[in-house]
Amino acid sequence: MNTSEDAKTLAAELSRMTTKPVTVARAEEILADDMAWLPEGEPMQCIAEDRMWDIQAGSGLHKLHRRTILTRRDDEQLRILVEIALLRPDGIELERGVFDQPSGEADEFLKTLRERLAAPVVS
């Protein structure tokens, strides 16, 4: 989802994509500290929210990792996306989903992964 560099707008749109609301003060901090300088030719991004949950499954303790990422695109537009990854007990990624709209798909994907891990394994 493309967003604005206006702190109030950014806070509202980040809040639609994160698990907890983002304050205008936090949006101002992100804009001033993390997104203020763009080296020529280098993409810029920051993690607006980083959450991790342990999920016990038959094969051990897995992790669900959910990150809300803010990037600056080549055309200077800011873009928000959510990335969810399922990690095995040894840290190897099994599955990843990337979502760029506040449609609820990211939360549904997270819920599906949790349910799948919690389901008993049938041989």
pLDDT single digits (tens) 100-117: 998 889 989 989 988 888
pLDDT at 59 over 60: yes
Kindly report the average pLDDT of the chain as a whole number.
Answer: 87
pLDDT tens column, 5-24: 899 999 999 999 999 999 99
Residue type, 91: G
Q: What distance in Å separates the CA atoms of residue 50 and residue 27, rounded to the nearest whole number?
A: 15
- Three-state helix/strand/coil letters over 10-33: HHHHHHHHCCCCCCHHHHHHHHHH
**Whole-model pTM above 0.85?**
no
pLDDT, residue 43, reads 62
pLDDT at 38 over 60: no
Domain ranges of the chain: 2-118
Judge whether 66 and 81 are in contact, CB under 8 Å. Answer: no
pLDDT, residue 67, reads 96
Q: What distance in Å separates the CA atoms of residue 49 and residue 63, rounded to the nearest whole number?
A: 16
Q: Please, which pLDDT band fits residue 1 given cuts at 50, 70 and 90?
A: confident
Q: Which two tokens stand for residue 108?
A: 């549904």
Q: What distance in Å separates the CA atoms of residue 68 and residue 114, rounded to the nearest whole number?
A: 19
Q: What distance in Å separates the CA atoms of residue 27 and residue 86, rounded to the nearest whole number?
A: 28
